[in-house]
Amino acid sequence: VVCTVGSGLRSYSRRPKRVSAGKLPQRSSWWALSLSLNAVNLSESARGKMAPTQLAQMYVTAATALRCVLGHHLSCLPGYLLGCAEGVANQTETKQIPDCLRWLFTPLGRQFFLSCDWSVKSDSGDEVYTSERDAADPIAQLHRCFCRKLLERAVHTLIQPQSDSDGGKNSCGDFSNALEFLELLNSCTEDSPSPPPPFPTPPSHTTVSVRDPVSRWWALVLRAAVLWLQGDDATVRALLAEAERMPRALHILDHRLPKAVLLLSKVVQMSLSPLKGEAVVSCLSHCDRASSYLRSSVSVPLSQSGNLLNKGVELLVCDLLLTLRTSLWQRGGGSNGEPGPAPGSQLAGFQRDLSVLRKLTQCYRQAQHKVFLHETTVRLMAGASPTRTHQLLEHNLRRRTHSPYSAEGECVVGERERAHVILLACRHLPMPLLTPPGHRARLLAEAKRTLERVGDRRSLQDCQQILLRLSGGTTIAAS
């Protein structure tokens, strides 16, 4: 009798999952909710006949169905069911919450479940950023949405740094916040080590893996990008060497954006070594190929590309491409050690990427400050009139000279780009333009404080070298 009851409950418990995931047609969300609550009632009536893990999953399935019906209203009700699920999951013999539920009981996972918009119906647009899940399992689909949300939060933090007191509670600002999201993503897509059971596990008790090679690959390349900006070259080399092994699912998908990221990773790897002659040409060739893939991806309308995450990654890739092109130009100094006007092909590649950046800021208008930085760079690369360039810089920098920080002392949006513009001006503009005496030193001191605050150690090293060489020459060459 016990076996019959347990088998019947397990069979019945699968139906709410399939209904919630949209795998049983012509059924409303209310019917799914009714079925889920009935499954919970039967399970509670048959105490001891079901494993705590299974009962916890049924509570979560019921909470999911309730959340789909209520939307953002009365969140306390699905929250109560989540609490029941966590309490039951903690009653397992090992006192270890299953991996498929562990993420849901974290503060950020609970907030995501109760406050964010998500769908448990599988979407082909998710394949670029997350691995496939069981389409009939709403808990697995929830986990996929959560992984996607963490990637979105990390990318959003990098392209639109927050400026209020909640934006960052430490000295590294947007960088450390992004790393925290990526670390959480890695932790919730890793199976917990467990000793092999002494007896064969019944099919009904098979554990569900939470590994997600695709989202972990994205977390890897994003972490490498952050650490590259922070100047941690040794770690970046190791991460990018691992990133070269792109997941097979992305190779099969044949999407343009991962290809652009893979080529960009190779450029970053090459830039970490001394570059001369053919090495510079090879770097620029990789930049052009990555740019071509990026333009193809950007040409897909937002309604077809799926979501703002796609456009956010495109913007981040474009910004990094322009930053790398700037670095390659500055490192190719002339006979006096100063970079002259860029060759036509190099300038044309920079202008193409700048056009893409302008298009992408239509989705992320707060990232407009990045356009100003790269517009300044392209004028310097083209050898445009220094006087006119200086006038444009003064006009834009003067607007925020008196309030570079918020009331709480945190860097406001665009301050890192402002510091980069100051470095460009002090490095490439003739000395007579940077008047009155001491003006350049004050600007560099401001840039140094900003770069220290946001954790941009790579640019900070350049700033410190310029300060050391402040007394010599009419123009400071690239370090």
Average pLDDT for residues 473-478, to the nearest whole number?
43
Residues of the chain above pLDDT 90, percent: 27
Number of domains in the chain: 2
Residue 150 domain flag: no
Give the angle 210-214-217 at the CA atoms, nearest 5°: 110
Q: Which domain covers residue 70, as residue numbers? A: 1-98
Average pLDDT for residues 334-346, to the nearest whole number?
72
CA–CA separation, 134 and 141 (whole Å): 7
Residues of the chain above pLDDT 70, percent: 75
User: CB under 8 Å to 407, separation ≥6 — which residues?
Assistant: none
Residue 57 domain flag: yes
Q: Left if phi > 0, otherwise alpha if psi is -120 to 50, otherwise beta: which for 378? A: alpha
Residue from 125, 123, 122, 120 nearest 253 by CA: 125
Domain boundary among 98, 121, 145: 98
Cα 173 to chain centroid, rounded: 15
390-427: pLDDT as tens digits: 777 776 666 554 444 444 443 444 778 888 888 888 88
Residue 416 domain flag: no
User: Hey, CA dihedral for 390, 431, 401, 462, is it positive or negative?
Assistant: positive
CA atoms within 13 A on the CB side of 235: 13
Q: What is the 3-state secondary structure (H, E, C) of 243-277?
A: HCCCCHHHHHHCCHHHHHHHHHHHHHHHHCCCCCC
How many Cβ atoms are within 10 Å of 194's Cβ, its own excluded?
10
pLDDT at 314 (0 to 100): 94
242-301: pLDDT as tens digits: 999 999 999 998 899 999 999 999 999 999 988 777 888 899 999 999 999 999 999 877
Which of 57-66, 366-375, 398-407 has the weakest average pLDDT?
Answer: 398-407
pLDDT at 224 (0 to 100): 96
3-class secondary structure, 386:
helix
Domain boundary among 98, 121, 138: 98
- Position of tokens 């952050």? 226
100-129: pLDDT as tens digits: 888 998 899 999 988 888 777 766 667 899
Cα distances from 431 to residues 386, 413, 424, in angstroms, run 11, 29, 13
Domain boundary among 342, 357, 384: 384
